[in-house]
Structure formats: structure tokens, C-alpha cells
């Protein structure tokens, strides 16, 4: 039971972090980066408010996925674990592809 609660809590905390990033990102004056410490976007992005709005949507979708997985893991732990691992590996790749598309759009 503790493992189920731990998986669910981890997913929900991850969702909370990404929801927090969307709120901060919409009001931030610099481009939101995909990974921590990336400073290469400062010169590339021309329309920062629109870029940040698109990145906020991307992070909001990512947060919603983690929240649904966390809630599902409470009731169906095995399904939640499989979805969390799928979201962790395949989901990161998909999110990264969307991020690259957003960067190309606003460069």
C-alpha cells in the first residue's frame, strides 16, 4: 500500500511542479527553457510572450497527464505504474519534439 501511495504522490507532485511552471512562465519576461540551465534561447526567440504562452500550454498538458496517472495509480496501481513509465520515457520524447517545434516557430 505504501508503494501505491508513493507512486501516486510522486506523480501528483510532478504535476504540481509543472502547473507551477505554467503560472510562472506566462508572466516571465525571458523564454521558458525546456531543461534547467539552458541559456541559449535568449537570442533565438523573437516573440517571447507568445513563445511562453505555447510553452505554458505544453507544460500544462504534461502536468495534466501526470495528474491523471497519479490519480489512476491510487485505484489501479499496476496500470498507474505502466502509464508512469510510458509517460516518463515515451512522453519525454514526445514533449521534446513539441518543444523543438515551438522553438522553430518562434525563431
> Long-range contacts made by residues 94-102, C-beta under 8 angstroms, separation at least 24?
95/58, 95/62, 96/34, 98/58, 99/34, 99/55, 99/58, 102/51, 102/54, 102/55, 102/58
Provide the domain count of the chain. Answer: 1
pLDDT tens per residue, range 57-97: 999 999 999 999 999 998 999 999 999 999 889 988 999 99
- Cα(92)–Cα(105) distance, integer angstroms: 20
Over the stretch 3-20, which tens digit does the pLDDT of each residue have? Answer: 778 888 888 998 999 899
Query: What is the span of the domain harbouring residue 13?
Result: 2-106
Amino acid at each position: 500500500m505504501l508503494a501505491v501511495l508513493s507512486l501516486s504522490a510522486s506523480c501528483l507532485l510532478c504535476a504540481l511542479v509543472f502547473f507551477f511552471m505554467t503560472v510562472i512562465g506566462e508572466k516571465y519576461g525571458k523564454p521558458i527553457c525546456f531543461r534547467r540551465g539552458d541559456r541559449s534561447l535568449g537570442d533565438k526567440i523573437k516573440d517571447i510572450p507568445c513563445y511562453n504562452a505555447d510553452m505554458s500550454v505544453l507544460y500544462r498538458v504534461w502536468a495534466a497527464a501526470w495528474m491523471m496517472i497519479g490519480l489512476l495509480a491510487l485505484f489501479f496501481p499496476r496500470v498507474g505504474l505502466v502509464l508512469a513509465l510510458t509517460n516518463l520515457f515515451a512522453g519525454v520524447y514526445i514533449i521534446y519534439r513539441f518543444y523543438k517545434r515551438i522553438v522553430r516557430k518562434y525563431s
